[in-house]
Amino acid sequence: MCGIAGYVGSGDAIATIVSLLLELQHRGQESAGIAVASMKMGEIYSLIGKGLVIEALNDSGLSKLYDVGRVFGGIGHVRYTTSGGYMDSQAQPVVIRDGAYTVALAFNGTIANYLQLAKEFGVREFGGDTSVLAKVLLRLARELDNDVVEALKVLPSYVVGGYSIAVLTSEPRLVVARDPHGFRPLAISLSDGGLLVSSETSALDAFGAVGWREVLPGEVISYDGHSIEFTKSPISAPISPCIFEYVYFSRPDSIFNGVSVYMARVRMGEELARVAPADGDVVIPVPDSGRAAAIGFSRASGAPLEEGIVVNKYVGRGFIAPPAIRETISKLKYGFVKSSIDGKRVILVDDSIVRGTTVKSIVSKLRSSGAREVHVRIASPPYRYPCFMGIDIASRAELLAWRAASIRDIAKSIEADSVGYNTVDGLLKSVGLPLICHACFTGLYPFKGLSVDDLEKMFIR
């Protein structure tokens, strides 16, 4: 999971892209970057750095971008590493050149077969799948008369994985695309002010963009500042957007595939109360992604909702933090309102249990705050299988539900009185789409002929 943004228009492209990235900060907190194309000679300039947007794109760095003069537009990225390791992962956008032709690339997703592609195309895979994808795309574009649109149309025949992508070229031109499966979100808004691009619709709403629409699976959209071209890859694939976008990743005020993320989460909570009821005095959400599901659980069960946990907004999202600091973040991220907890049977509602680090810490602190009982209820099914389309889990060994022999063992592991999960059917009903990827819960991947064993061997060095 990462966030990408783009802008071409008559306004301040640099300020616009930075504003969009701030709205997408929840999708990645390890690094941020921006690349812009100058109107003079089409040269591409970039600024990337570690940390949050305000750290990586500081005033001194941005001033150098403003010094290049009038710009055509640009793209931006916030990073959450999903391949290549945290130490050698490449911040985006990546800028690469072949003679006078230059492209900058930012993408959200994972290319599971990037090691194979690196070997096939004879490129170095340092930096993980980002570097390989950029070089493969440039090679394809050069072979197709410097046409990035045509390169993106044939790209799905080479890659296994998922991507939403923004490419800035030295022509200059801005091109965006989603893979034919439609795993990751991407939306655009075209108005008199130009073209806006964002991983999530909520960022476009916050920016005041009107008339946005989601990029369709397999669609390729190209804009040169004057005319916009809509085309589609001829390579077909079963449409299978990521169900975990609804469970955790996306902001609740976003729309994904025409479905309100907030309402999907509320319905998850309602289904959870039906399939995994709990006797308790109070429903307490794990903020922030568990809140909507807790509202649904409270409504359906009749148990009152209390804000018993306060989140430290400055720590960031624990799930997408680098492995070395996840446990520290889980300990520091939350504060507890003892008056909502003391002496009560707590029904703790969260979106998911992946590695179990966070929820175990929360259960322990609830007991320290006086909870008589802690019953954990999870809005999604047990997370048993790794993702190869944009989530930082490449091995089943990392997953608590895979390691545990039963739900009772999970409860014992996190020291809860009980644990209850939503069902796959309940989750699918809550989202309401006819086709969706739920491989992380079922192990059924939408890649023909590839099992979890095949994908793990392909992805892991």
CATH number belonging to domain 252-459? 3.40.50.2020
pLDDT band at 328 (very low <50, low <70, confident <90, very high): low
- DSSP H helices in 333-379: 338-341, 357-368
Average pLDDT, the chain: 92
Is 392 annotated as a binding-site member? no
Neighbours of 112 (CB within 10 A): 28
Average pLDDT over residues 418-430: 98
SS3 108: strand
User: What are the boundaries of each domain within the chain?
Assistant: 3-237, 252-459
Q: Can you read off the two tokens belonging to residue 68?
A: 């290049």
Nearest to 311 by CA among 327, 295, 328, 332: 332
CA atoms lying within 13 Å on the CB side of residue 445: 20
Catalytic pick among 2, 48, 148, 404? 2
Strands (E), 268-352: 282-285, 309-311, 334-336, 345-350
pLDDT at position 317 over 80: no
For 3-237, which CATH class?
alpha beta
Q: Distance between CA 136 and CA 132 in Å, rounded?
A: 6
Is 98 annotated as a binding-site member? no
Q: Distance between CA 105 and CA 138 in Å, rounded?
A: 10
Residue with tokens 């061997």: 457
For the chain, give the number of residues.
Answer: 461
Cα 378 from chain centroid? 20
Nearest to 96 by CA among 140, 49, 54: 140
The helix (run of H) or strand (run of E) holding residue 429 is helix 424-431
Strands (E), 28-100: 31-38, 44-50, 71-79, 94-98
Q: List all residues 6 or more positions away from 120 whose beta carbon is below 8 Å from its beta carbon.
A: none
CATH topology identical between 3-237 and 252-459: no
SS3 82: coil
pLDDT band at 330 (very low <50, low <70, confident <90, very high): low
Query: What percent of the chain lies above the pLDDT cut of 90?
Result: 83
Cα–Cα distances in Å, from 242 out to 85, 192, 433? Answer: 23, 32, 11
Q: What is the pLDDT of residues 351-371, one digit of tens each?
A: 999 999 899 999 999 999 999
Q: For the chain, first and last CA: distance in Å?
A: 21
Radius of gyration of the chain (CA): 22
Task: Label the pairing between strands 228-232 and 282-285.
Answer: unpaired
pLDDT at position 84 over 80: no
Query: Between residues 197 and 89, which one has the greater pLDDT?
Result: 197
Q: Which amino acid is at 422?
A: N
Average pLDDT over residues 252-276: 98
Average pLDDT over residues 422-445: 97
Active site residue 192: no
* Sheet strands side by side (includes 173-178): 94-98, 101-111, 161-169, 173-178, 219-223, 228-232
pTM (two decimals): 0.93
Residue with tokens 């990073």: 79
Is 453 annotated as a binding-site member? no
Average pLDDT over residues 46-50: 96
Q: Can you read off the two tokens belonging to residue 357?
A: 């680090």
Is 351 annotated as a binding-site member? yes
Is 202 annotated as a binding-site member? no
pLDDT at position 94 over 80: yes
Average pLDDT over residues 19-37: 96
Q: Distance between CA 92 and CA 47 in Å, rounded?
A: 9
Nearest to 372 by CA among 334, 417, 309, 306: 417
221 forms beta bridges with 176, 230
